[in-house]
């Protein structure tokens, strides 16, 4: 059976499919007393909504959220919080040719072989559209974390072969990513990245990239060694986003090029607060947060839906065949995946904050 729930105490269950009636999430174990409105959730959903620029899919979904339960008089009431988005602009006929012909780069073949009864319209439950549920869970998590001054910020650092090596403060990143469609802090590189995405779109092609996530003001001690380490759970949450193919913590793969003396983060006292002089470990040691900013990177693959004829196999006839993909697709998923990545991390953080005793499980 498919797993649709994340979290040990703060549990988020997502549901729905790309061309179904609706998508959404139910949050169980959400403490009572959190001030939250429909607009708070809508604000996050708007960041990942399709059709907002010329570098996203043309599917025109407004993604207006409906809250069905769990909020009373502007606050969570301790009961399951359920919110949905109704699909409005699905064009299922574009996918009729996919019924028995799995698309290269997609999970169609695996879903069909495992479950047999597979909703091939827009990828069904395997579509990137199902991350609406992530963002609903993440929006509620964000409101909880704000009360502890914890912020999670994702920004694009590379698109295809264009990357930025400039260093920005967290405040600069938060400000600059709102000034361009790519959500890159380097405004000069952002323009080049957008141009590269548009080139791929014109050619009926797609590109991938890299997204960095910065989590600030995390207390010391989140994480449950040995099998529920914080970095393990964050990596799992990020890898569970369909387009993500790699996760790095801190320096990540670059760590292999350093010696122990170069890599180790030495402890210092700063205004009577213990910190580390560097942050090569990305804010996590021994599977637990060490009080420094948590730094993660995800590698995002190119959107597999591209134009042109590709080889596949007709599963019904068991014969070699060809396929030409129709429909509306993102030429690059990186700009929209930033909000999904933030949401995935925020859900993990709230669950670990409750498990570590920083948040009361019943009420804020």
- pLDDT one-digit tens code per residue, 183-220: 999 999 999 999 999 999 999 999 999 999 999 999 99
Model-level pTM? 0.95
Judge whether 364 lies within some domain: no
Token representation of residue 39: 């607009």
The interaxial angle of helices 38-48 and 132-146, nearest 10 deg, is: 130
Host domain of residue 118: 5-355
Task: Check residue 1 and give its pLDDT.
Answer: 56
Residues above pLDDT 90, as percent of the chain: 85
What is the tens place of the pLDDT at every residue in 263-314?
999 999 999 999 999 999 999 999 999 999 999 999 999 999 999 999 999 9
Are 234 and 214 a contacting pair, CB within 8 Å?
no
Task: Check residue 92 and give its pLDDT.
Answer: 66
Judge whether 332 lies within some domain: yes
Judge whether 363 lies within some domain: no
Q: Which residues contact 174 (CB under 8 A, 6 or more apart)?
A: 151, 153
Task: Say how far apart CA 138 and CA 33 lie, in whole Å.
Answer: 17
Task: Check residue 328 and give its pLDDT.
Answer: 72
Judge whether 94 lies within some domain: yes
If pLDDT is split at 50, 70 and 90, which confidence band does 121 have? confident
Q: Which residues contact 152 (CB under 8 A, 6 or more apart)?
A: 142, 145, 213, 214, 215, 216, 342, 345, 346, 349
Q: Nearest-CA neighbor of 32 among 84, 73, 66, 4?
A: 73
What is the tens place of the pLDDT at every residue in 53-98?
788 776 667 889 999 999 999 999 999 999 999 998 666 666 777 8
> ∠ CA 144-148-152 to the nearest 5 degrees?
70
Number of domains in the chain: 1
Judge whether 362 lies within some domain: no
CATH number for the domain that contains residue 16: 3.60.150.10
Task: Say how far apart CA 199 and CA 351 lie, in whole Å.
Answer: 41
């Amino acid at each position: 059976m498919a797993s649709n729930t994340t979290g040990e105490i703060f549990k988020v269950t997502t549901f729905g499919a790309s061309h179904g009636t609706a998508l959404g999430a139910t949050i169980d174990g959400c403490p009572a007393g959190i001030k939250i409105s429909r607009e708070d959730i809508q604000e996050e959903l708007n960041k990942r909504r399709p059709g907002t620029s010329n570098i996203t899919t043309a599917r025109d979904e407004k993604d207006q959220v409906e809250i069905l339960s769990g909020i009373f008089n502007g606050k969570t009431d301790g009961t399951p919080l359920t919110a949905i988005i109704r699909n409005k602009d699905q064009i299922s006929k574009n996918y009729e040719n996919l019924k028995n012909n799995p698309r290269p780069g997609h999970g169609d073949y695996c879903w069909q072989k495992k479950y047999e009864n597979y909703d091939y319209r827009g990828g069904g439950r395997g579509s990137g559209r199902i991350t609406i549920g992530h963002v609903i869970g993440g929006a509620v998590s964000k409101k909880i974390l704000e009360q502890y001054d914890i912020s999670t910020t994702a920004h694009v650092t590379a698109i295809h072969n264009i990357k930025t090596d400039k260093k920005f403060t967290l405040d600069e990143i938060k400000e600059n990513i709102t000034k361009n469609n790519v959500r890159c802090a380097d405004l000069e590189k952002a323009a080049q990245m957008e141009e590269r995405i548009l080139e791929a779109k014109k050619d009926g092609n797609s590109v991938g990239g890299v997204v960095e996530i910065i989590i600030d003001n995390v207390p010391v001690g989140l994480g449950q060694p040995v099998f529920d380490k914080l970095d393990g759970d964050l990596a799992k949450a990020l890898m569970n986003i369909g387009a993500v193919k790699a996760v790095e913590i801190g320096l990540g793969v670059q760590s292999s090029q350093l010696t122990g003396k170069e890599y180790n983060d030495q402890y210092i006292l700063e205004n009577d607060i213990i910190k580390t002089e560097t942050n090569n470990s990305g804010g996590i040691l021994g599977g637990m947060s060490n009080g420094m900013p948590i730094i993660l990177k995800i590698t995002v693959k190119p959107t597999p839906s591209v134009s042109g004829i590709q080889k596949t196999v007709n599963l019904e006839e068991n014969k070699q065949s060809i396929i030409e993909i129709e429909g509306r697709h993102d030429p690059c998923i990186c700009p929209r995946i930033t909000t999904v990545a933030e949401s995935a991390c925020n859900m993990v953080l709230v669950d670990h904050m409750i498990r570590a005793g920083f948040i009361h499980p019943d009420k804020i």
